[in-house]
Structure 1
Amino acid sequence: MSGKHAVDCYESLDEQVALVTGATRGIGATIASDLTDLGATVYAGARDTDDITEPDQRAIRLDVTDESEIETAIDRIADEVGQLDILVNNAGVFYRSGPLHEMSTDEFDHTLEVNLRGPTLVTKHALPLLLKQDGARVVSLSSNLGQFSQGQMGGGYPPYRISKVGLGGLTAYLHAEYASEGLIASAVSPGWVRTDMGGSNANRSPKEGADTPVWLSRFKPGSVGGRLWRDRTLVEW
């Protein structure tokens, strides 16, 4: 079922803790900033923490392709604040590759490593903290290029498309496995956004792209999970 769906959202995220991966620029930086403005304690993940310049955020070294860095980052959050209410899996890469028979295998491997393996492992290590909270949220950045049921999977970019289909599978799995423990897992298509990844011709600003991910991060316990959203509206995979 797609369409609008009524949900209850926190107006303030005071006393809640968020981790945003890929928070140095673009949508990730905007999500981190907006969650900070809502009152959350935000750990801003970056491969180089010098790239995090917001004084109200806690820069945290986090390369999602390095499991030891993931473990260290989660351990730091556990030691410093002892909780995690929101995980935003934002870090990603996008190669402008042609059809599958022309695809670079190295680009395919790297895309899956960052876009699918990374969120899976970050979520794996974050789950013990997330499941301690009532209604913790996992929000993963997907794309309309990964909507496999809509007959629009052609047109090149197979590494990116396939990685985002997999991210939808991760979201559905998390819902089926952990919703009974209160976890709310969501995927979101932010649209075509003017970032390093989206390019200068994109029709949305980072602020517009961040709107629905931030909204999903505000869901209260018992909200719908395991689905894909765009513009605060449920859409089909």
Structure 2
Amino acid sequence: METEQSMSGRVALVTGGGRGIGEAISLSLANLGVTVAVCDIHDGAERVVADIRSKGQQANAYLCDISNSEETSRLLDTITTDLGRLDILVNNAGVGGAHGRLHEIDVDDWDKTIGVNLRGTFLTTKYAMPHLLHQSPSAIINIASTYGIIGAPFAPAYCASKGAIVNLTRQLAVDYGPLGVRVNAVLPGYIDTDLGGRRASLPADQAAQMLQRREESAALQPLGRQATTTEVARVVAFLASDDASFMTGSIVTVDGGCTTTFYHG
């Protein structure tokens, strides 16, 4: 793995960096000497930046709705003005979407899920790309999901959005590899986090039941447990580094082996 000295001086943008996997990615990159632009739609970004700075590392916090084109364009202008460059983009921000069969979910919920997960990845990449091309070799890591390569129950919008990100990753690798920008995707499986605060919004007994179902499903995987957010972040940091210099268009599962066998969700 690259050392802090070899990553020092680089600048990364991590969307959805204010909690969960995004927080772990921000911390891991900062530990390697990267200056991190931690972006989120809520003030969790400020907390993560305070944590990074308390360790003598460099980070700035930014608020942005990445599904909004004007906001996202301004975000990239502001980051590159503040920090002078952009070498790494981690498209992590996402929402889980409604739980139900396709005909049961609300159209607005479908649009929001596609808007944040897919449109947000498109917009952030669109406005980041000129800066990444200027700093090439550079790297994009898209956080998709194992639900982007399997048909998971009761998650049509989420599966559709993450599946689109998987193939967008491949397409971007084709167009931008010759120009010095590597593009890879990381597909987490069962991770010990609560996407969108769904459990936190439920009564305690229902939240406990949801967590128990996740743990029981994770126990059926070859590795038999959920992952920590740090385990995902380490893979992202590797893909952002020069140690992964010959990887582009790669779809990397971090899932305890769940997609290698029959899925029980």
Q: What TM-score results when the alignment is normalised by the length of structure 2?
A: 0.77
- Determine the structure 2 residue equivalent to 1:212: 235
- Determine the structure 1 residue equivalent to 2:249: 226
Return 5+ residue gaps in structure 2 as ranges: 54-58, 200-210, 216-225, 261-265
The 5-angstrom pairing of residues 1-237 of structure 1 reads: 10-12=2-4, 13-49=7-43, 51-53=45-47, 54-55=49-50, 56=53, 57-147=59-149, 152-197=150-195, 200=211, 201-202=214-215, 203-220=226-243, 222-231=245-254
Contact kept in structure 2, 1:190 and 1:210, CA below 8 Å: no
Could you tell me how far apart the structure 2 residues matched to 1:127 and 1:38 are? 23
Residue by residue over 1:98-124, the C-alpha shift from the partner in whole angstroms, topping out at 9 and shown as x without a partner, is 222222221111000000000100000
How many percent identity over aligned positions?
A: 33
Q: Which amino acid aligns with 1:43?
A: A
Contact kept in structure 2, 1:111 and 1:163, CA below 8 Å: yes
Give, in angstroms, the shift of residue 171 of structure 1.
0.7
Residue by residue over 1:167-208, the C-alpha shift from the partner in whole angstroms, topping out at 9 and shown as x without a partner, is 012211211111000110011112211222186445122212
More relative contact order in 1 or in 2 (CA 8 Å, sep 6+)?
Answer: 1
Check 1:154–1:29 CA distance in 2 against 1; reply closer, same or farther (3 A cut).
closer
Contact kept in structure 2, 1:191 and 1:209, CA below 8 Å: no
Contact kept in structure 1, 2:9 and 2:33, CA below 8 Å: yes
Give, in angstroms, the shift of residue 232 of structure 1.
10
Check 1:193–1:89 CA distance in 2 against 1; reply closer, same or farther (3 A cut).
same
Q: Which amino acid aligns with 1:146?
A: G
Could you tell me how far apart the structure 1 residues matched to 2:64 and 2:241 are? 23
Could you tell me how far apart the structure 2 residues matched to 1:190 and 1:136 are? 23
Could you tell me how far apart the structure 2 residues matched to 1:221 and 1:135 are? 12
Could you tell me how far apart the structure 2 residues matched to 1:217 and 1:190 are? 16
Q: What TM-score results when the alignment is normalised by the length of structure 1?
A: 0.86
Could you tell me how far apart the structure 1 residues matched to 2:232 and 2:98 are? 20
Q: Which amino acid aligns with 2:91?
A: N
Contact kept in structure 1, 2:45 and 2:62, CA below 8 Å: no
| Count of residues in Structure 1 that have an aligned counterpart in Structure 2 | 223
